Structure 1
Amino acid sequence: MPDTRAFNAQAADWWQTEIIDMRPGEIRYRGYPIEELIGRIGFADMVWLMIRGELPSAAQSALFEAALVSAVDHGPQAPSIAIARMAMTCGSSLNNALASAVNVLDDIHGGAGEQVVELFQSISTSMEAGSGVEEATRQGLADWRELHGKIVPGFGHRFHPIDPRAPRLLALVEAAAERGEVNGRHARIAREVERQLQADKGKPIPLNIDGATAVIYAELDFPAPLARGLFCLSRSVGILAHAWEQQCQGGRNKGPMPKGWLWDYRGHPPRSISTVTESR
């Protein structure tokens, strides 16, 4: 007779997790019964609990939610939003539109937050070793440019002279630091990066949404890769809203350019295959 207990143990070990415990009539997230969480905590608290394993303090929750709220949408000119809307006009379902859009949130569109957290954390590490913020930032920027090129993620915006979301988020972090709720070091680093970029370029290169949310995620001790995942989670709200709006508006095969607009063809001038076949 096979030992079913051994088989059960092997199956249980295959998918071991500290996130959820479930059996008939019982569901626990990180040890908490779901019925105790429902109606007592908000969605941002639930995200924190699932990722971090503990519930956030009220101060942590407020900053975390502010970051999530700030990045939900940036209009159909954002590639992810445009793709979601186009997918709906091709007959896709909402889940397919969401998946198509999230799949382009990568290094250039959506990944900058992760990169800025890495930059801020490297500067913070130098400060912990004894460097002042100015010296650590100068070295951090030099190291970043040597590895990744001249573009510093999280600063400057192709559309907004000043990203309206960034000053508000940074003000919330600095107010929380004054109350002793967070350290405030990454906010100081962001200010110093901004100052040095302006000195280097001779013009303001202000903090943008990626840099501002990176300040919050770094202050809250999130590992850098999670900054990208959290941006995807946040932007999914806007993606869903636009996909649903497009479905309600209707339309078929809505491409990236308005109907009647054509691309710029720069290939070979018009020619005939007959000139080729006659010479063969």
Structure 2
Amino acid sequence: MTVRNDVSDWWRTRIIDMEPGRIHLRGKPVQDLIGNTGFAEMIWLLVMGEEISGPRAALFEAALVSAVDHGPQAPSIGAARMAATCGIGLQSVMATGLNMLGDVHGGAGEQAITLYRQCEAAGPDGLPPTLNAWRADHGRFIPGFGHRFHKPVDPRAPRLLALVDAAAEAGAVSGAYAGIGRAIESHLAKERGKPVPMNIDGATAVIYAELGCPAPLARGFFGLSRSVGILAHGWEQMEQGGRNKGPTPPEYRWTYDGD
């Protein structure tokens, strides 16, 4: 007799097993996780399929905390606040903000991990040609360094790097990617004749690389982190009220370039 699994096999997952009265997440009963597993640890378990603890878990949580919000001038937050004045629900407000995240706003962490790993493969002497090759393929900006607003330094980056250093001293991570990030920072400063400090994207990319994350997950984890700020701002705007707010007050008009 042939057993047909065409329906049950339509979706295949190692994440969850469930039947009435039983929920197992990555093989662990949900009731054992509730109250015993932190949210950051839960994210790691579901996404990566393994447990994380100690200094490694603290590093992961620090990266998530660091990127929760960057104010209404950030496109994701500004879009969410505008959406909140248009009569849609809170979940749609959040989706509007998250949908603003892309290669430019939200994608630099993924790009930075890719660059770090290219630099790692090239070795210390290969740093300059690796950066030149990156620019030839992607343009003049090096992802994870410099900031249009935070000058001379992004206050989040030094703290994150200090936590990586502490975790490396404890043997929880290698510290190799922190070294690569600092080498890029030093090279850019010499090249431009002024500091080009690592920013939040570069620093969180160091953490995710140290933890062994595939590069695309840096973008996904950034979206998870930023969704907290999107929720906070969306709810705040709903409480403040306002109707159909655009990006600028109505007395300010746009520039018309037509005839």
Fold-level match, TM-score > 0.5? yes
1:258 Cα deviation after fit: 1.4
1:225 Cα deviation after fit: 0.3
Q: Name the counterpart of 2:134.
A: 144
SS at match of 2:23: strand
Give, as a single letter, the amino acid of the residue that structure 2 aligns with 1:210: D
Give, as a single letter, the amino acid of the residue that structure 2 aligns with 1:247: M
SS at match of 1:13: coil
SS at match of 2:148: coil
Q: Which has the larger radius of gyration?
A: 1
SS at match of 1:75: coil
Structure 1 Cα separation of the partners of residues 14 and 118 of structure 2: 30
Structure 2 Cα separation of the partners of residues 180 and 141 of structure 1: 29
Question: Superposition pairs for residues 140-219 of structure 1, below 5 Å?
Answer: 140-161=130-151, 162-219=153-210
1:11 Cα deviation after fit: 1.1
| TM-score, normalised via structure 2 length | 0.97
Give, as a single letter, the amino acid of the residue that structure 2 aligns with 1:41: T
Q: Does 1:53 align with 2:49?
A: yes
1:150 Cα deviation after fit: 1.0
Q: Which runs of 5+ in 2 are unaligned?
A: none
Q: Name the counterpart of 2:29.
A: 33
Which deviations, in whole Å up to 9, do the C-alpha atoms of 1:74-117 show, x marking residues without a partner?
00000000000000101111111111111110000000000001
1:259 Cα deviation after fit: 2.6
Q: Name the counterpart of 1:229.
A: 220
Structure 1 Cα separation of the partners of residues 157 and 127 of structure 2: 20
Q: Name the counterpart of 1:278.
A: none
1:266 Cα deviation after fit: 2.2
Question: Superposition pairs for residues 36-185 of structure 1, below 5 Å?
Answer: 36-126=32-122, 131=123, 133=124, 135-161=125-151, 162-185=153-176
Q: Name the counterpart of 2:238.
A: 247
Structure 1 Cα separation of the partners of residues 178 and 127 of structure 2: 12
1:136 Cα deviation after fit: 2.8
Structure 1 Cα separation of the partners of residues 181 and 233 of structure 2: 32
Give, as a single letter, the amino acid of the residue that structure 2 aligns with 1:223: P
Count of aligned residue pairs for this structure pair: 258
Give, as a single letter, the amino acid of the residue that structure 2 aligns with 1:248: E
Stretches (4+) displaced over 3 A: none
Identity of aligned residues (%): 59
1:125 Cα deviation after fit: 2.1
1:160 Cα deviation after fit: 0.4
8 Å CA contact 2:110–2:217 kept in 1: the answer is: yes
Structure 2 Cα separation of the partners of residues 106 and 261 of structure 1: 28
Give, as a single letter, the amino acid of the residue that structure 2 aligns with 1:76: P
1:66 Cα deviation after fit: 0.1
Q: Name the counterpart of 1:14.
A: 10
1:59 Cα deviation after fit: 1.4
8 Å CA contact 2:14–2:26 kept in 1: the answer is: yes
SS at match of 2:101: coil
Structure 1 Cα separation of the partners of residues 139 and 59 of structure 2: 31
Structure 2 Cα separation of the partners of residues 136 and 208 of structure 1: 23
Q: Which runs of 5+ in 1 are unaligned?
A: 269-280
